[in-house]
């Protein structure tokens, strides 16, 4: 297969197979990251996403003191435990870190890119997927922010808007001024709710 026909990020585009390396571990890892970056660029991912994921993978390498072809799920478990118990990172942050490592492993073990074969040839072992269902955080809540910062749930918004509707009715029933602007505000909210598909607000 010619170099021109290789997929973006393939090992053959970043390493010459028969060329000896002075620092093979570091050089192969750097080439893998370069290949992963090219693959992500080909997928049209945002530059901020690519840079953030690369920083995450580098951080995992430093913590595990191991390169990707010797990673294990236990290493990831220890890193996640340290990040949560010692550094106190939030679940959403941990899940993002796990997503970055999972994506990198998927790239590294994909036969289309040839990195597993390259590692097997140079180091006698190859990368594996270390993020699985049993050691990855699951997104089970609509919002994982602190309670003081989280957005309203749909039920809470419905209750709030129902209360606003009731206040308009009460103001109008007392014959007081100001009910018409309030009514218009609640109607505008109702139109926006219908446009968003949420149907918030009650019809009068």
The confidence score (pLDDT) of residue 11 equals 76
d(CA 57, CA 121): 23
The confidence score (pLDDT) of residue 10 equals 81
This prediction's pTM: 0.66
From 30-39, 57-66, 99-108, 161-170, the region with the lowest mean pLDDT: 161-170
DSSP per residue over 12-77, as a string?
GGT--TT---SSHHHHHHHHHHHHHHHHHHHTT--HHHHHHHHHHHHHHHHHHTS-GGG--HHHHH
Of 16, 136, 119, 13, whose CA–CA distance to 79 is shortest?
136
The better pLDDT of the pair 22, 5 is held by 22
Q: Where do the domains of the chain lie?
A: 3-135, 154-195
Which tokens sit at 74? 């236990």
Q: What is the CA radius of gyration of the chain?
A: 26
| Tens digits of residue pLDDT in 43-56 | 999 999 999 999 99
| Tens digits of residue pLDDT in 142-190 | 555 555 566 667 777 777 777 777 766 766 666 666 656 665 555 555 5
Per-residue H/E/C for 71-120: CCHHHHHHHHHHHHHCCCCCHHHHHHHHHHHHHHHHHHHCCCCCHHHHHH
Please, what is the average pLDDT of the chain?
80
């Amino acid at each position: 297969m010619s170099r021109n026909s290789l997929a973006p990020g393939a090992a053959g585009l970043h390493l010459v197979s028969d060329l000896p390396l002075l620092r093979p571990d570091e050089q192969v890892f750097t080439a893998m990251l370069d290949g992963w970056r090219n693959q992500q660029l080909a997928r049209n991912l945002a530059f901020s996403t690519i840079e953030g994921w690369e920083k995450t993978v580098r951080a995992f390498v430093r913590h595990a003191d191991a390169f990707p072809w010797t990673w294990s799920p236990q290493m990831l478990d220890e890193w996640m435990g340290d990040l949560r118990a010692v550094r106190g990172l939030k679940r959403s942050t941990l899940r993002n870190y796990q997503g970055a490592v999972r994506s990198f492993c998927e790239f590294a073990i994909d036969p289309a890119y040839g990195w597993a074969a390259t590692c097997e040839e140079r180091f006698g072992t190859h990368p594996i997927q270390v993020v699985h269902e049993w050691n990855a955080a699951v997104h089970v809540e609509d919002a994982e922010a602190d309670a003081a910062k989280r957005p309203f749930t749909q039920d809470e918004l419905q209750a709030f808007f129902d209360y606003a509707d009731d206040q308009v009715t009460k103001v109008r029933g007392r014959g007081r001024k100001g009910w018409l602007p309030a009514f218009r505000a609640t109607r505008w909210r109702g139109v926006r709710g219908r446009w968003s598909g949420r149907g918030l607000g009650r019809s009068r």
